[in-house]
A and B are shown apart, each in its own frame.
Chain A
Amino acid sequence: GAGVSQSPSNKVTEKGKDVELRCDPISGHTALYWYRQSLGQGLEFLIYFQGNSAPDKSGLPSDRFSAERTGGSVSTLTIQRTQQEDSAVYLCASSLGGGKAEAFFGQGTRLTVV
């Protein structure tokens, strides 16, 4: 596709359930980022993948959050035992890497935990 694709666009889940959010980056982009944005707030960094390097997980808020990137392409962000404070828009971005390359963002997944 032409841009970063995220699915689902909206997800409503019950407290305590696990959810998986998917990100399809732009083909050929080696860097992939996950952010979350709570209502009316700024973007909070979660995790960053670059090629075969170990991911930067420094932004993951708790051990309930994890992310994988299989084959250097698609990424899945998993939230276990969801809590109401996990409700937010989860944004994925990708870039060519190399430091100077701009990141392109998807439209996000709006997660609501009820």
Chain B
Amino acid sequence: DAKTTQPPSMDCAEGRAANLPCNHSTISGNEYVYWYRQIHSQGPQYIIHGLKNNETNEMASLIITEDRKSSTLILPHATLRDTAVYYCIVRVASRGGNEKLTFGTGTRLTIIP
């Protein structure tokens, strides 16, 4: 899996949009970008994933640059419950290939009341 680079920590005011960046400059054409988060003392939780188009679901939006070398996870209206460590992962998408998820150090997001 390609390596990712994320800032170690970020703060965001409650109610504002939280924008979490991720660099994945060595991503391959068949690798997806995944985001997970881990709230204290819980197992990681899937958020969203994408290949090259922007994606949106009930939790977040994922913006991937045209060259796919970086992406941004957007939490549109952050709440205190969004305080967590956010992991950006790139992963081969081919069926039958190794689907191992390799977690980096992530970004510790703190939502400020």
Give A residues with C-beta under 8 Å from B: 4, 31, 33, 35, 42-43, 45, 48, 50, 53, 56, 91, 93, 95, 97-108
Contact = CB atoms under 8 A, between A and B. Distances in A.
Given A99-B94, A100-B32, A100-B93, A48 B43 contact: no
4 closest pairs, A vs B, by CB? Answer: A105-B43, A99-B93, A102-B46, A43-B103
Contacts of A50: 96, 98-99
B81 interface: no
Interface of B: 32, 34, 38, 42-46, 49, 87, 91-106
Given A42-B103, A48-B100, 16 more contacts: A4-B43, A33-B100, A33-B101, A42-B106, A45-B101, A45-B103, A50-B99, A56-B100, A95-B99, A97-B99, A98-B99, A99-B32, A99-B91, A99-B95, A100-B93, A104-B46
A105 B59 CA distance: 17
Contacts of A45: 100-103
Contacts of B101: 33, 45, 93, 103
A91 B105 CA distance: 16
6 contacts: A43-B87, A48-B99, A91-B43, A93-B43, A98-B99, A102-B46
Contacts of A4: 43
Contacts of A53: 96
A104 B34 CA distance: 13
Contacts of A91: 43-44
B98 A108 contact: no
B91 to A, nearest CB: 7
B105 to A, nearest CB: 5
Contact of A102 (B42, B49, B103, B105): B49
B103 A48 contact: no
A42 B103 CA distance: 7
A101 B91 CA distance: 11
B103 A35 contact: yes
